[in-house]
């Protein structure tokens, strides 16, 4: 039986204050870090909040090769008043 290669499922989650910032970050990620896959945007409604204006937005980027530096991503997200969520 052949051995399966281990595939890392590393994901970085950047938390942004609004959808516009998240969309800008997703575009800038592709340009600045040359990510292979399209980052995913996810609306993260705060508990008990129904208003879309009160939602944070997450940008999820896969990094199976482990080449993205977490500190660089945190500083990058900070340019849009966001941060990198620790796993």
pLDDT one-digit tens code per residue, 25-72: 999 998 999 998 899 999 987 655 555 556 899 999 999 888 999 999
Lowest mean pLDDT among 5-14, 39-48, 63-72, 75-84: 5-14
Question: What is the model's pTM?
Answer: 0.81
Question: Which residue shows structure tokens 């939602």?
Answer: 55
* Contact predicate 65/7, CB 8 Å: no
Q: Within 13 A of 25's CA, how many CA atoms are on the CB side?
A: 32
* Contact predicate 54/46, CB 8 Å: yes
Average pLDDT estimate for 8-15: 85
Contacts of 38-47 spanning 24+ positions with Cβ under 8 A: 43/19, 44/15
């Amino acid at each position: 039986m052949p051995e399966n290669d281990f595939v890392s499922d590393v994901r970085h989650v950047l938390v942004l204050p609004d959808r516009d910032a998240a969309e800008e970050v997703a575009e800038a990620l592709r340009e600045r870090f040359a990510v292979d896959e399209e980052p995913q945007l996810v609306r993260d409604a705060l508990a008990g909040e129904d208003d879309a204006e009160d939602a944070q937005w997450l940008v999820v980027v896969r990094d199976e090769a482990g080449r993205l530096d977490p500190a660089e991503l945190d500083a990058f997200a900070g340019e849009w008043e966001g941060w990198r969520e620790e796993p």
